[in-house]
Structure 1
Protein backbone atom coordinates (compact mmCIF):
# COMPACT_ATOMS: atom_id res chain seq x y z
CA UNK A 1 0.00 0.00 0.00
CA UNK A 2 1.31 3.47 -0.83
CA UNK A 3 2.35 5.99 1.81
CA UNK A 4 -0.36 8.27 0.37
CA UNK A 5 -2.96 6.20 2.21
CA UNK A 6 -1.83 7.79 5.47
CA UNK A 7 -2.44 11.33 4.21
CA UNK A 8 -5.84 13.01 4.12
CA UNK A 9 -7.04 13.66 0.59
CA UNK A 10 -7.34 17.24 -0.65
CA UNK A 11 -10.09 18.87 -2.63
CA UNK A 12 -7.58 20.79 -4.77
CA UNK A 13 -5.76 17.66 -5.96
CA UNK A 14 -8.71 15.28 -6.40
CA UNK A 15 -10.93 14.30 -9.31
CA UNK A 16 -14.02 12.06 -9.52
CA UNK A 17 -14.10 9.33 -12.19
CA UNK A 18 -17.55 7.96 -13.09
CA UNK A 19 -17.08 4.73 -15.03
CA UNK A 20 -19.60 3.47 -17.58
CA UNK A 21 -22.90 4.02 -15.76
CA UNK A 22 -24.96 3.23 -18.84
CA UNK A 23 -28.58 2.30 -19.43
CA UNK A 24 -27.93 -1.15 -20.92
CA UNK A 25 -26.30 -2.24 -17.66
CA UNK A 26 -29.38 -1.42 -15.54
CA UNK A 27 -31.08 -4.85 -15.68
CA UNK A 28 -27.95 -6.90 -15.10
CA UNK A 29 -25.90 -5.06 -12.46
CA UNK A 30 -26.34 -6.01 -8.81
CA UNK A 31 -27.87 -3.14 -6.78
CA UNK A 32 -27.84 -0.84 -9.83
CA UNK A 33 -30.36 1.71 -8.53
CA UNK A 34 -28.67 1.92 -5.13
CA UNK A 35 -25.27 2.44 -6.77
CA UNK A 36 -26.78 5.25 -8.84
CA UNK A 37 -28.05 6.94 -5.65
CA UNK A 38 -24.55 6.82 -4.15
CA UNK A 39 -22.99 8.19 -7.35
CA UNK A 40 -25.56 11.01 -7.43
CA UNK A 41 -24.53 11.95 -3.88
CA UNK A 42 -20.84 11.95 -4.87
CA UNK A 43 -21.54 14.10 -7.92
CA UNK A 44 -23.56 16.58 -5.87
CA UNK A 45 -20.78 16.83 -3.28
CA UNK A 46 -18.09 17.26 -5.93
CA UNK A 47 -20.05 20.09 -7.51
CA UNK A 48 -20.43 21.78 -4.11
CA UNK A 49 -16.69 21.41 -3.49
CA UNK A 50 -15.65 22.33 -7.06
CA UNK A 51 -14.02 18.97 -7.72
CA UNK A 52 -13.75 18.11 -11.42
CA UNK A 53 -15.79 15.14 -12.63
CA UNK A 54 -15.09 13.04 -15.72
CA UNK A 55 -16.93 10.01 -17.00
CA UNK A 56 -16.72 7.36 -19.66
CA UNK A 57 -19.12 5.35 -21.76
CA UNK A 58 -18.07 1.87 -22.90
CA UNK A 59 -18.97 1.43 -26.58
CA UNK A 60 -22.10 3.64 -26.42
CA UNK A 61 -23.19 2.57 -29.91
CA UNK A 62 -24.01 -0.83 -28.46
CA UNK A 63 -24.42 -0.14 -24.74
CA UNK A 64 -26.18 3.22 -24.79
CA UNK A 65 -25.24 6.44 -23.07
CA UNK A 66 -24.82 7.50 -19.45
CA UNK A 67 -28.10 7.18 -17.56
CA UNK A 68 -30.28 10.28 -17.37
CA UNK A 69 -30.31 10.29 -13.56
CA UNK A 70 -26.69 11.47 -13.50
CA UNK A 71 -27.63 14.66 -15.42
CA UNK A 72 -24.24 14.94 -17.11
CA UNK A 73 -24.85 18.40 -18.60
CA UNK A 74 -26.29 20.00 -15.45
CA UNK A 75 -23.60 18.38 -13.32
CA UNK A 76 -20.74 19.49 -15.59
CA UNK A 77 -19.51 15.97 -16.23
CA UNK A 78 -17.28 15.61 -19.28
CA UNK A 79 -18.00 12.17 -20.72
CA UNK A 80 -15.72 10.37 -23.16
CA UNK A 81 -16.39 7.30 -25.29
CA UNK A 82 -14.09 4.31 -25.06
CA UNK A 83 -13.69 0.75 -26.29
CA UNK A 84 -10.80 -0.22 -24.02
CA UNK A 85 -11.81 -1.30 -20.52
CA UNK A 86 -9.63 1.19 -18.63
CA UNK A 87 -10.91 4.75 -18.30
CA UNK A 88 -7.39 6.09 -18.69
CA UNK A 89 -7.70 6.95 -22.39
CA UNK A 90 -5.76 9.78 -24.04
CA UNK A 91 -8.84 12.03 -23.72
CA UNK A 92 -9.06 11.37 -19.98
CA UNK A 93 -5.30 11.82 -19.51
CA UNK A 94 -5.57 15.23 -21.18
CA UNK A 95 -8.54 16.14 -18.97
CA UNK A 96 -7.00 15.19 -15.63
CA UNK A 97 -4.63 18.12 -15.25
CA UNK A 98 -1.20 18.24 -13.66
CA UNK A 99 -2.49 19.16 -10.17
CA UNK A 100 -4.45 15.91 -9.73
CA UNK A 101 -2.90 13.37 -7.36
CA UNK A 102 -5.99 11.49 -6.16
CA UNK A 103 -8.66 9.78 -8.25
CA UNK A 104 -11.95 8.95 -6.54
CA UNK A 105 -13.46 6.14 -8.61
CA UNK A 106 -17.03 4.88 -8.88
CA UNK A 107 -19.08 3.05 -11.49
CA UNK A 108 -19.18 -0.23 -13.39
CA UNK A 109 -18.05 -2.96 -13.40
CA UNK A 110 -15.86 -3.44 -10.35
CA UNK A 111 -14.00 -6.49 -11.64
CA UNK A 112 -13.42 -5.20 -15.18
CA UNK A 113 -13.31 -1.49 -16.01
CA UNK A 114 -12.89 -0.23 -12.43
CA UNK A 115 -10.12 -2.76 -11.80
CA UNK A 116 -8.23 -2.05 -15.04
CA UNK A 117 -8.60 1.72 -14.57
CA UNK A 118 -7.18 1.42 -11.07
CA UNK A 119 -4.18 -0.62 -12.21
CA UNK A 120 -3.30 1.97 -14.86
CA UNK A 121 -3.78 4.87 -12.46
CA UNK A 122 -1.55 3.24 -9.85
CA UNK A 123 1.08 2.53 -12.51
CA UNK A 124 1.00 6.23 -13.37
CA UNK A 125 1.54 7.30 -9.76
CA UNK A 126 -1.98 8.36 -8.77
CA UNK A 127 -3.57 7.61 -5.43
CA UNK A 128 -6.81 5.72 -6.13
CA UNK A 129 -9.83 5.62 -3.84
CA UNK A 130 -12.51 3.11 -4.78
CA UNK A 131 -15.94 4.00 -3.47
CA UNK A 132 -17.07 0.56 -2.26
CA UNK A 133 -20.74 1.55 -2.11
CA UNK A 134 -20.46 3.30 -5.49
CA UNK A 135 -19.22 0.38 -7.61
CA UNK A 136 -20.82 -2.88 -8.65
CA UNK A 137 -20.72 -5.88 -10.95
CA UNK A 138 -23.27 -8.34 -12.24
CA UNK A 139 -22.58 -10.55 -9.23
CA UNK A 140 -21.68 -9.71 -5.63
CA UNK A 141 -18.99 -12.40 -5.86
CA UNK A 142 -17.19 -10.54 -8.66
CA UNK A 143 -17.46 -7.29 -6.72
CA UNK A 144 -16.18 -8.92 -3.53
CA UNK A 145 -13.12 -10.50 -5.14
CA UNK A 146 -12.36 -7.32 -7.10
CA UNK A 147 -12.52 -5.09 -4.00
CA UNK A 148 -10.14 -7.41 -2.17
CA UNK A 149 -7.74 -7.40 -5.11
CA UNK A 150 -7.95 -3.62 -5.51
CA UNK A 151 -7.02 -3.11 -1.88
CA UNK A 152 -4.19 -5.63 -2.17
CA UNK A 153 -2.61 -3.82 -5.15
CA UNK A 154 -2.63 -0.46 -3.37
CA UNK A 155 -6.00 1.21 -3.90
CA UNK A 156 -7.94 2.50 -0.92
CA UNK A 157 -11.39 0.94 -0.64
CA UNK A 158 -13.67 3.35 1.21
CA UNK A 159 -17.32 4.33 1.54
CA UNK A 160 -18.84 7.46 0.06
CA UNK A 161 -19.61 8.95 3.47
CA UNK A 162 -16.05 8.40 4.68
CA UNK A 163 -14.64 10.23 1.66
CA UNK A 164 -17.05 13.16 1.90
CA UNK A 165 -16.06 13.79 5.51
CA UNK A 166 -12.38 13.46 4.67
CA UNK A 167 -12.66 15.97 1.84
CA UNK A 168 -14.05 18.67 4.15
CA UNK A 169 -11.95 17.58 7.18
CA UNK A 170 -13.79 19.76 9.75
CA UNK A 171 -17.23 21.00 10.79
CA UNK A 172 -15.75 24.48 10.33
CA UNK A 173 -15.44 23.95 6.56
CA UNK A 174 -17.53 26.60 4.74
CA UNK A 175 -19.39 23.87 2.80
CA UNK A 176 -19.93 21.57 5.80
CA UNK A 177 -23.69 22.17 6.09
CA UNK A 178 -24.23 21.50 2.37
CA UNK A 179 -22.27 18.25 2.58
CA UNK A 180 -24.02 17.31 5.83
CA UNK A 181 -27.40 17.58 4.06
CA UNK A 182 -26.23 14.99 1.53
CA UNK A 183 -25.30 12.41 4.15
CA UNK A 184 -28.12 13.00 6.67
CA UNK A 185 -29.91 10.09 5.03
CA UNK A 186 -27.57 7.08 5.08
CA UNK A 187 -26.43 5.70 1.73
CA UNK A 188 -28.57 2.79 0.52
CA UNK A 189 -27.45 -0.82 0.93
CA UNK A 190 -25.37 -1.69 -2.12
CA UNK A 191 -24.57 -5.24 -1.10
CA UNK A 192 -21.57 -4.45 1.11
CA UNK A 193 -23.14 -6.32 4.01
CA UNK A 194 -22.66 -9.51 1.98
CA UNK A 195 -18.96 -8.88 1.35
Structure 2
Protein backbone atom coordinates (compact mmCIF):
# COMPACT_ATOMS: atom_id res chain seq x y z
CA UNK A 1 0.00 0.00 0.00
CA UNK A 2 1.33 3.44 -0.93
CA UNK A 3 1.60 6.18 1.66
CA UNK A 4 -0.68 9.16 1.10
CA UNK A 5 0.12 12.45 2.79
CA UNK A 6 -3.56 13.12 3.52
CA UNK A 7 -3.69 9.92 5.61
CA UNK A 8 -0.22 10.21 7.18
CA UNK A 9 1.31 11.37 10.44
CA UNK A 10 5.05 11.31 11.23
CA UNK A 11 5.72 10.18 14.80
CA UNK A 12 9.22 10.73 16.23
CA UNK A 13 9.78 8.90 19.49
CA UNK A 14 12.18 10.17 22.15
CA UNK A 15 14.94 11.90 20.17
CA UNK A 16 16.10 13.35 23.48
CA UNK A 17 19.31 15.18 24.29
CA UNK A 18 20.19 13.00 27.27
CA UNK A 19 19.75 9.75 25.38
CA UNK A 20 21.14 10.44 21.89
CA UNK A 21 24.86 10.54 22.77
CA UNK A 22 24.81 6.85 23.80
CA UNK A 23 22.75 5.60 20.84
CA UNK A 24 24.60 3.68 18.13
CA UNK A 25 23.80 5.46 14.88
CA UNK A 26 22.03 8.25 16.75
CA UNK A 27 23.45 11.02 14.54
CA UNK A 28 22.27 9.27 11.36
CA UNK A 29 18.84 8.63 12.89
CA UNK A 30 18.45 12.29 13.83
CA UNK A 31 19.62 13.43 10.37
CA UNK A 32 17.10 11.17 8.62
CA UNK A 33 14.29 12.17 10.97
CA UNK A 34 15.09 15.87 10.48
CA UNK A 35 15.14 15.48 6.69
CA UNK A 36 11.80 13.69 6.59
CA UNK A 37 10.36 15.99 9.26
CA UNK A 38 11.18 19.02 7.14
CA UNK A 39 9.55 17.31 4.16
CA UNK A 40 6.47 16.48 6.26
CA UNK A 41 6.16 20.11 7.36
CA UNK A 42 6.41 21.30 3.75
CA UNK A 43 3.71 18.84 2.70
CA UNK A 44 1.50 19.59 5.72
CA UNK A 45 1.83 16.11 7.18
CA UNK A 46 1.49 16.39 10.97
CA UNK A 47 4.70 15.81 12.93
CA UNK A 48 4.42 14.59 16.50
CA UNK A 49 7.27 13.97 18.92
CA UNK A 50 7.28 12.15 22.23
CA UNK A 51 9.54 12.69 25.22
CA UNK A 52 10.06 10.00 27.86
CA UNK A 53 10.51 11.54 31.33
CA UNK A 54 12.10 14.75 29.97
CA UNK A 55 13.05 15.82 33.48
CA UNK A 56 15.52 12.89 33.43
CA UNK A 57 16.41 12.45 29.74
CA UNK A 58 16.18 16.06 28.59
CA UNK A 59 13.90 17.48 25.95
CA UNK A 60 13.85 16.76 22.24
CA UNK A 61 17.01 17.57 20.32
CA UNK A 62 17.02 21.34 19.82
CA UNK A 63 18.61 21.06 16.38
CA UNK A 64 15.96 18.53 15.31
CA UNK A 65 13.21 20.89 16.42
CA UNK A 66 14.92 23.72 14.51
CA UNK A 67 14.31 21.76 11.27
CA UNK A 68 10.57 21.60 11.91
CA UNK A 69 8.25 24.56 11.48
CA UNK A 70 5.18 22.84 12.89
CA UNK A 71 5.06 20.00 15.42
CA UNK A 72 3.44 18.80 18.61
CA UNK A 73 5.31 17.34 21.59
CA UNK A 74 3.82 14.73 23.90
CA UNK A 75 5.40 13.89 27.23
CA UNK A 76 4.95 10.33 28.42
CA UNK A 77 5.73 7.99 31.27
CA UNK A 78 4.74 4.72 29.55
CA UNK A 79 7.31 3.31 27.15
CA UNK A 80 4.61 2.89 24.49
CA UNK A 81 2.89 6.17 23.61
CA UNK A 82 -0.41 4.39 22.93
CA UNK A 83 -0.64 3.57 26.65
CA UNK A 84 -1.07 7.31 27.30
CA UNK A 85 -4.83 7.99 27.09
CA UNK A 86 -4.51 11.64 26.02
CA UNK A 87 -2.10 10.75 23.21
CA UNK A 88 -4.25 7.82 22.02
CA UNK A 89 -7.44 9.91 21.98
CA UNK A 90 -5.79 12.83 20.17
CA UNK A 91 -4.31 10.51 17.54
CA UNK A 92 -7.69 8.91 16.95
CA UNK A 93 -9.24 12.36 16.58
CA UNK A 94 -6.84 13.26 13.73
CA UNK A 95 -8.39 10.64 11.46
CA UNK A 96 -4.90 9.71 10.23
CA UNK A 97 -4.49 6.01 9.51
CA UNK A 98 -0.90 5.77 8.23
CA UNK A 99 1.75 6.35 10.89
CA UNK A 100 5.40 6.74 9.89
CA UNK A 101 7.37 5.85 13.02
CA UNK A 102 10.97 6.45 14.05
CA UNK A 103 13.03 7.28 17.12
CA UNK A 104 15.07 5.91 19.98
CA UNK A 105 15.40 3.49 21.51
CA UNK A 106 14.07 1.28 18.76
CA UNK A 107 13.78 -1.85 20.90
CA UNK A 108 11.97 -0.15 23.77
CA UNK A 109 9.83 2.95 23.22
CA UNK A 110 9.68 2.84 19.43
CA UNK A 111 8.78 -0.85 19.37
CA UNK A 112 6.19 -0.63 22.16
CA UNK A 113 4.63 2.43 20.50
CA UNK A 114 4.58 0.63 17.16
CA UNK A 115 3.02 -2.53 18.54
CA UNK A 116 0.38 -0.40 20.27
CA UNK A 117 -0.38 1.38 17.00
CA UNK A 118 -0.71 -1.93 15.16
CA UNK A 119 -2.97 -3.31 17.86
CA UNK A 120 -5.17 -0.22 17.53
CA UNK A 121 -5.54 -0.82 13.78
CA UNK A 122 -3.16 1.80 12.32
CA UNK A 123 -1.06 1.12 9.23
CA UNK A 124 2.50 1.35 10.54
CA UNK A 125 5.56 2.30 8.50
CA UNK A 126 8.87 1.74 10.35
CA UNK A 127 11.39 4.37 9.23
CA UNK A 128 14.45 2.15 9.28
CA UNK A 129 17.30 4.68 8.99
CA UNK A 130 15.78 6.90 11.68
CA UNK A 131 15.25 4.23 14.35
CA UNK A 132 18.21 3.40 16.57
CA UNK A 133 19.22 1.88 19.90
CA UNK A 134 22.31 1.80 22.08
CA UNK A 135 23.19 -1.47 20.37
CA UNK A 136 22.60 -1.81 16.61
CA UNK A 137 21.48 -5.43 16.97
CA UNK A 138 18.59 -4.38 19.19
CA UNK A 139 17.41 -1.83 16.63
CA UNK A 140 17.52 -4.49 13.91
CA UNK A 141 15.58 -6.99 16.02
CA UNK A 142 13.00 -4.33 16.89
CA UNK A 143 12.37 -3.64 13.18
CA UNK A 144 12.08 -7.37 12.50
CA UNK A 145 9.61 -7.83 15.34
CA UNK A 146 7.50 -4.84 14.27
CA UNK A 147 7.42 -6.09 10.67
CA UNK A 148 6.53 -9.62 11.79
CA UNK A 149 3.49 -8.04 13.47
CA UNK A 150 2.38 -6.05 10.43
CA UNK A 151 4.61 -2.98 10.14
CA UNK A 152 6.24 -2.12 6.81
CA UNK A 153 9.93 -1.14 6.78
CA UNK A 154 10.52 2.04 4.76
CA UNK A 155 13.23 4.59 4.03
CA UNK A 156 12.89 8.37 4.15
CA UNK A 157 13.12 8.56 0.35
CA UNK A 158 10.33 6.00 -0.08
CA UNK A 159 8.09 8.01 2.20
CA UNK A 160 8.91 11.38 0.64
CA UNK A 161 8.34 10.26 -2.94
CA UNK A 162 5.10 8.49 -2.04
CA UNK A 163 3.87 11.65 -0.28
CA UNK A 164 4.84 13.73 -3.33
CA UNK A 165 3.16 11.23 -5.69
CA UNK A 166 4.14 12.97 -8.94
CA UNK A 167 6.93 15.10 -10.40
CA UNK A 168 5.05 17.67 -12.47
CA UNK A 169 3.76 19.89 -9.68
CA UNK A 170 5.00 23.12 -8.15
CA UNK A 171 5.07 21.36 -4.79
CA UNK A 172 7.48 18.72 -6.13
CA UNK A 173 9.75 21.41 -7.56
CA UNK A 174 9.82 23.21 -4.22
CA UNK A 175 10.47 19.99 -2.33
CA UNK A 176 13.19 18.95 -4.76
CA UNK A 177 14.98 22.30 -4.45
CA UNK A 178 14.78 22.46 -0.66
CA UNK A 179 15.00 18.92 0.57
CA UNK A 180 15.90 16.22 -1.91
CA UNK A 181 19.63 16.55 -1.43
CA UNK A 182 22.15 14.36 0.42
CA UNK A 183 21.61 14.17 4.15
CA UNK A 184 25.33 14.57 4.72
CA UNK A 185 25.03 18.20 3.62
CA UNK A 186 22.45 18.78 6.36
CA UNK A 187 24.15 17.75 9.61
CA UNK A 188 22.06 17.93 12.75
CA UNK A 189 23.68 18.03 16.16
CA UNK A 190 22.12 16.45 19.22
CA UNK A 191 22.21 19.66 21.30
TM over 0.5: yes
Q: 1:38 to 1:124 in 2, by over 3 A?
A: same
Q: Is there any run of 5+ residues in structure 2 with no aligned partner, and where?
A: 186-191
For the Cα contact (< 8 Å) 1:38–1:187, is it kept in 2?
A: no
The residue that corresponds to 1:192 in the other structure is none
Aligned residues: 182
CA distance in 1 between counterparts of 2:184 and 2:115 reads 27
CA distance in 2 between counterparts of 1:54 and 1:74 reads 10
Q: Is there any run of 5+ residues in structure 1 with no aligned partner, and where?
A: 1-6, 189-195
Q: Deviations over 1:37-85 (max 9, x none)?
A: 1111111101110011111100011111111012269622111111100
**Shift in Å at residue 151 of structure 1?**
1.1
Q: Does 1:37 align with 2:34?
A: no
For the Cα contact (< 8 Å) 1:26–1:32, is it kept in 2?
A: yes
SS at match of 1:145: helix
Deviates more, 1:7-16 or 1:119-128: 7-16
**Shift in Å at residue 112 of structure 1?**
0.7
Runs of 4 or more, structure 1, over 3 Å off, are none
Q: Out of 106, 118, 121, which is 2:117 matched to?
A: 121
Tell me how large the CA RMSD over aligned residues is: 1.8
**Shift in Å at residue 169 of structure 1?**
1.3
CA distance in 1 between counterparts of 2:148 and 2:133 reads 19
Q: Out of 58, 64, 69, which is 1:64 matched to?
A: 58
SS at match of 1:138: coil
Alignment of 1:1-195 (within 5 A): 7-71=1-65, 75-88=69-82, 89-96=84-91, 97-181=93-177, 182-185=179-182
The residue that corresponds to 1:191 in the other structure is none
CA distance in 1 between counterparts of 2:184 and 2:149 reads 27
For the Cα contact (< 8 Å) 1:9–1:166, is it kept in 2?
A: yes
Q: 1:161 to 1:122 in 2, by over 3 A?
A: same
Q: Give the TM-score normalised by the residue count of structure 1.
A: 0.87
